[in-house]
Amino acid sequence: MARIAPLTKNDVEGKAADQWTAVEKKLGKMPNMLATLAHSPAALGTYLNLGEALGDASISAGLREQIAVAVAGVSKCGYCASAHTVIGAMNGVAKDELAKNLRGEATDPKVQAALDFSKIIVENRGWASDAELQAVRDAGYTEGEVLEIVATVVANLFTNYMNHVIETENDFPKVELPQAAGV
């Protein structure tokens, strides 16, 4: 059970109602996490604004979803793993590839470099060595794309952490998180 209950459309007014309508128009529904964030138009707006800004990224929507799935795997966020598996498939990423991405693995070496760098960012709280930064550059990412990878990681950590605090009830087809070694 969620520790902060999601709102219903009848519960919101003003800016939150406008945000709600925009989400429903874009997604066809209001996911539980966003219905919960609607308690605060500022929190919901943060999520929406991050997503809108990343829509202008030069890295593809599919790669952003692969990063989101990998970050969810590292952060152990089942809600985000489930949501981004659905959204990743909608953006043309094969489901078996998304399952690999959840474990931090990719078929394509360039995508693997982005996932490796994303995992480093999460595990080291943003710190990356010169060699780790060079590795993602050597894989073919431009300076701007490296910054977009970081922005994508940070946007997904926002939702991972919100879901950890909220304990959001999953309203997507459930994806099982990989078990850590020795668990």
**In this predicted model, what pLDDT tens digit does every residue of 39-56 receive, in sequence order?**
999 999 999 999 999 999
Q: Could you tell me the residue range of the domain that residue 32 belongs to? A: 9-54
Does any domain span residue 136?
Answer: yes
Q: The CATH number of the domain where 118 resides is what?
A: 1.20.1290.10
Please report, as a single letter, which amino acid is at residue 10. Answer: N
For 43-60, give one letter per residue: b (16+ CB within 10 A) or e.
Answer: ebebbbebeeebeebebe
88 and 24 co-located in one domain: no
* Cα dihedral 79→77→69→26 (10° resolution): 30
> From CA 135, how far away is CA 151, in angstroms rounded?
18
29 and 100 co-located in one domain: no
| pLDDT on residue 128 | 98
46 and 124 co-located in one domain: no
Nearest partner of 82 among 165, 169, 175, judged by Cα: 175
Does any domain span residue 171?
Answer: no
Please report, as a single letter, which amino acid is at residue 15. Answer: K
E strand spans, 5-87: none
0.85 exceeded by pTM = yes
Q: Read off the tokens for 14.
A: 């003003």
- Domains: count for the chain: 2
> From CA 141, how far away is CA 170, in angstroms rounded?
34
16 and 47 co-located in one domain: yes
State the helix-helix crossing angle for 143-166 and 78-90, rounded to 10 degrees.
130
Does any domain span residue 3?
Answer: no
26 and 91 co-located in one domain: no
38 and 102 co-located in one domain: no
| Burial class for 96, CB neighbours closer than 10 Å (0-12, 13-18, 19+) | exposed
Q: Are 6 and 31 in contact (CB under 8 A)?
A: no
| pLDDT on residue 57 | 98
Sign of the C-alpha dihedral computed for residues 57, 121, 127 and 129 taken in this order: negative
Q: Read off the tokens for 130.
A: 């010169």
Does any domain span residue 162?
Answer: yes
E strand spans, 22-136: none
pLDDT of the chain, 183 residues: tens digit per residue: 899 999 999 999 999 999 999 999 988 999 999 999 999 999 999 999 999 999 999 999 999 999 999 999 999 999 999 999 999 999 999 999 999 999 999 999 999 999 999 999 999 999 999 999 999 999 999 999 999 999 999 999 999 999 999 999 999 999 999 876 443
